[in-house]
Amino acid sequence: MKKLINSPATVLEESLDGFAAAHADIVTLGEERKFVRRRQLVPGKVALISGGGSGHEPLHAGFVGHGMLDAACPGQVFTSPTPDQMIAAAEAVDGGAGILFIVKNYEGDVMNFDMAAEMAGKDIMKVITDDDVAVEASTWSTGRRGVAGTLVVEKVVGAAAEQGRSLVELQALGTGVNLATRSMGVALTSCTVPAAGTPTFTLAADEMEMGVGIHGEPGRRRVALGTADEIADEMVGAIHEDFGRSGDALLLVNGFGGTPLMELYLMYHAARVRLEQRGFAVRRSLVGNYVTSLEMAGASITVTLLDDEIARLWDAPVHTAALRWGL
Amino acid sequence: MKKLINSPATVLEESLDGFAAAHADIVTLGEERKFVRRRQLVPGKVALISGGGSGHEPLHAGFVGHGMLDAACPGQVFTSPTPDQMIAAAEAVDGGAGILFIVKNYEGDVMNFDMAAEMAGKDIMKVITDDDVAVEASTWSTGRRGVAGTLVVEKVVGAAAEQGRSLVELQALGTGVNLATRSMGVALTSCTVPAAGTPTFTLAADEMEMGVGIHGEPGRRRVALGTADEIADEMVGAIHEDFGRSGDALLLVNGFGGTPLMELYLMYHAARVRLEQRGFAVRRSLVGNYVTSLEMAGASITVTLLDDEIARLWDAPVHTAALRWGL
């Protein structure tokens, strides 16, 4: 295992300390590093809390700040955070207007956020993201997995929360954005969880995992390494088929951590051409490493069907460690 | 070679097409893809042009836009762009106030930018960046290599150009920022140039290259893989020793492309603690993959000694594909 670390046992805490120090203008770290929260809270605003296993950085802590999340609870690598983390975060960022949990659809995450919602004694609702069209159930999920589309849900709902919308409205909006969002990914290499020390899975030199999950979970099938165009054909095709229609779209090409930006832009090009051939009009774009799987090589394609409201909320100002515009 | 590409021969053009489409609000692509330039030019402003071999994305095209570069000339992967690219870029972005070339100190780059300056028949000056303290000369450089500190030079000089400063002033400023900036990097793995198809160098499973260059050039020595703290000790020590003093600082922890953000923040933590122990006060921070070496695992530490002017120019609004704040 070749990593820039001191010990697998201290990776998360040292990384969080670095994150909080580098972005001290935006965030502060909760007691015992249970959560990362906005430095400036907005009283009377619905508080948005997300979280999940670490190793997907900048998701979720990198999305804490104005126009997006109020707090994020980081679990150990690829491990759900515990209910006491969400409860502590809820206590810290409750602005009196209710709390929305945004949770990727993995059994551990859903269970722990549900338990926290019950125990916190607060007005809490939740949105579950399950945008991955690759498989209908997976290693840690009943139903589809929540992957890079979670970024879109957090951005759009975060902008609406900033406008003062109610908890019920935000939950409906988040549910709608998730329904308007589809993703699919491919892995060219595995990743190595620091505490495990060996790769999560193995791929031969000429193989790829089509439809991989963000923890390296199996996808649709393991096949010979294809060209970018062949990969884009399959992923865009699966997304379009699942939508059953085309339209104005946001296109997010997301790297899993080990793929250079040069290749991500090349994949963006391949995906965009295919979306346009299928009747989509790409109106908004994002390319980069946002929902990662440690150092896994590979990428995912996410498409959100845009209406005027979602587009406007996407464009609204945001000021977080990983996404920033208009401020 | 496992890459998301169609063919080594078309990587650069397909990637540039994707980049230009994804950021069409900020940039346009020059004829024959000779350069990437700002969509909105500012008449009467000194034009800033940089460039170099591709494979370091987002450097330099990702830094084209308001508050930073006017144009960037991308060569093939790890290969200098040609003089006709710089000449075409100079024609396209000349605002009548002169042109400043910002060039990393590699022989091919310096030679080709010099040739372009001679042939263009325009008022052109240049700033050479050579911030890498690891070695005094290297595979492709006489004198120190220009590495991640180039980002700081481009940001600070870009902000000053936006204020209407003269070509002579900007050249002096850029030279000063380069002199106030030091970097050093470490590689845990090699990278593979698409056209070569095999890794640029090889490292054993327990080895790292201390002081590596951004093309995988040899550094100070090949040694056993150290901990993040040991690596930070050596890199921060080398930077501090080379400065010969401490002070207010900007700390940039830059990933080479294959290292997860989690590890970069951990390295940031290790570097920051050591800088503070040595009397530096870290006033500005940037952590991420900015000056990369394809999918190489590893990171560099860059420190710029700040005065009020450099800090103010660093904070000034910027709107590019890869760096954006205040707009």
- The minimum CA-CA distance between A122 and chain B, rounded to whole Å, is 32
Query: Which H or E element spans position B242?
Result: helix B228-243
Query: Which of B134, B89, B63 has the alpha carbon at shortest distance from B292?
Result: B63
Would you identify the CATH topology of the domain A181-314? Hypothetical Protein Tm841; Chain: A;domain 3 (3.30.1180)
Q: Which entry of B56, B60, B66, B240 is annotated as an active-site residue?
A: B56
C-beta separation of A28 from A82 below 8 A: no
Of B188, B229, B292, the CB nearest to A261: B292
- The minimum CA-CA distance between A123 and chain B, rounded to whole Å, is 33
In the prediction, which pLDDT does B26 show? 98
Q: Which CATH number is B11-179+319-325's, of 3.40.50.300, 3.40.50.720, 3.30.70.270, 3.40.50.10440?
A: 3.40.50.10440
CB contact under 8 A, A18 and B259: no
Is B327 a residue whose pLDDT tops 90? no
Q: Which of residues 157-186 of A touch B (CB under 8 A)?
A: 186
Average pLDDT over residues B225-239: 98
Tell me which DSSP letter residue A62 carries: G
Domain ranges of chain A: 11-179+319-325, 181-314
C-beta separation of B47 from B35 below 8 A: no
CB contact under 8 A, A261 and B326: no
Contacts of B228 in chain A (CB under 8 A): 4-6, 14
Evaluated on CA atoms B160, B163, B167, B169, the torsion sign reads negative
CB contact under 8 A, B266 and A229: no
C-beta separation of A38 from A71 below 8 A: yes
- φ, ψ for residue A199, nearest 5 deg: -55, 145
Contacts of A228 in chain B (CB under 8 A): 4-6, 14
Structure tokens at A95: 């602005």
Averaged confidence pLDDT in chain B: 97
**Cis omega (within 30 of 0) on the bond before A58?**
yes
C-beta separation of A160 from A170 below 8 A: yes
What proportion of chain B, given as a percentage, has pLDDT over 70?
A: 100
- The minimum CA-CA distance between B18 and chain A, rounded to whole Å, is 4
In the prediction, which pLDDT does B177 show? 98
pLDDT band at A312 (very low <50, low <70, confident <90, very high): very high
| CA B281 – CA A104 distance, rounded (Å) | 39
Q: What is the b/e burial string over B288-311, where b = at least 16 CB atoms within 10 angstroms of the residue's CB?
A: bbbbbbbbbbbbbbbbbbbeeebb
Of B62, B228, B327, the CB nearest to A6: B228
C-beta separation of B59 from B109 below 8 A: no
In the prediction, which pLDDT does A105 show? 98
Q: Which entry of B23, B60, B66, B215 is annotated as an active-site residue?
A: B215
| CA A65 – CA A319 distance, rounded (Å) | 6
Instruction: Determine contact: A55 vs chain B, CB below 8 A.
Output: yes
Average pLDDT over residues B171-190: 98
C-beta separation of A323 from A183 below 8 A: no
Size of interface A-B (CB pairs under 8 A): 193
Average pLDDT over residues A149-154: 98
Q: How many CA atoms lie within 13 A of A80 on its CB side?
A: 20
Give catalytic status of residue B60 as yes or no: no
CB contact under 8 A, B4 and A257: no
Query: Which of B31, B85, B65, B289 has the alpha carbon at shortest distance from A261?
Result: B289
pLDDT in tens, A219-229: 999 999 999 99
**Least CA distance to B225: which residue of chain A?**
A2
Instruction: Determine contact: B295 vs chain A, CB below 8 A.
Output: yes
Is A327 a residue whose pLDDT tops 90? no
C-beta separation of B153 from B294 below 8 A: no
Q: Which of B12, B266, B285, B320 to mutate to test the interface with A (most CBs of A within 10 A)?
A: B266
Of B205, B259, B268, the CB nearest to A295: B259
Whether the complex's predicted ipTM is more than 0.85 is answered with: yes
CB contact under 8 A, B260 and A19: no
pLDDT in tens, A249-296: 999 999 999 999 999 999 999 999 999 999 999 999 999 999 999 999
Contacts of B208 in chain A (CB under 8 A): 2
Sequence-distant (6+) residues with CB within 8 A of A154 are A48, A50, A60, A63, A68, A69, A102
CB contact under 8 A, A2 and B297: yes
Give catalytic status of residue A56 as yes or no: yes
| CA A53 – CA A73 distance, rounded (Å) | 8
Would you report the helix, strand and coil content of chain A in percent, each value rounded to 5? 35, 25, 40
C-beta separation of A207 from A227 below 8 A: no
Tell me which DSSP letter residue B146 carries: P
In the prediction, which pLDDT does A323 show? 98
Tell me which DSSP letter residue A279 carries: T
Rounded to whole angstroms, the maximal C-alpha distance in chain A is 55
Complete edge-to-edge strand list for the sheet that includes strand B298-305: B221-224, B207-210, B181-187, B298-305, B248-255, B281-288
Contacts of B77 in chain A (CB under 8 A): 262
Of B4, B282, B324, the CB nearest to A228: B4
Complete edge-to-edge strand list for the sheet that includes strand B324-325: B65-66, B318-320, B324-325
Q: Helix count (H) and strand count (E) of chain A?
A: 8, 15
* pTM of the predicted structure, to 2 decimals: 0.98
- The minimum CA-CA distance between B118 and chain A, rounded to whole Å, is 31
Instruction: Determine contact: B275 vs chain A, CB below 8 A.
Output: no
Is A75 a residue whose pLDDT tops 90? yes
Of B259, B265, B325, the CB nearest to A22: B265
Please report where in the chains the tokens 């939950």 appear, as a residue: A171
Average pLDDT over residues A12-31: 98
pLDDT in tens, A243-254: 999 999 999 999
Average pLDDT over residues B42-59: 98
- The minimum CA-CA distance between B17 and chain A, rounded to whole Å, is 6
Averaged confidence pLDDT in chain A: 97
Contacts of B186 in chain A (CB under 8 A): 4
What proportion of chain A, given as a percentage, has pLDDT over 90?
A: 98
Tell me which DSSP letter residue A241 carries: H
- The minimum CA-CA distance between B327 and chain A, rounded to whole Å, is 5
Contacts of B259 in chain A (CB under 8 A): 3-4, 295
pLDDT in tens, A157-209: 999 999 999 999 999 999 999 999 999 999 999 999 999 999 999 999 999 99
Average pLDDT over residues B60-65: 98
CB contact under 8 A, B263 and A3: yes
Q: What is the DSSP string of A280-321?
A: -EEEEEEEE-SS--TTB-EEEEEEEE--HHHHHHHHS-EEES
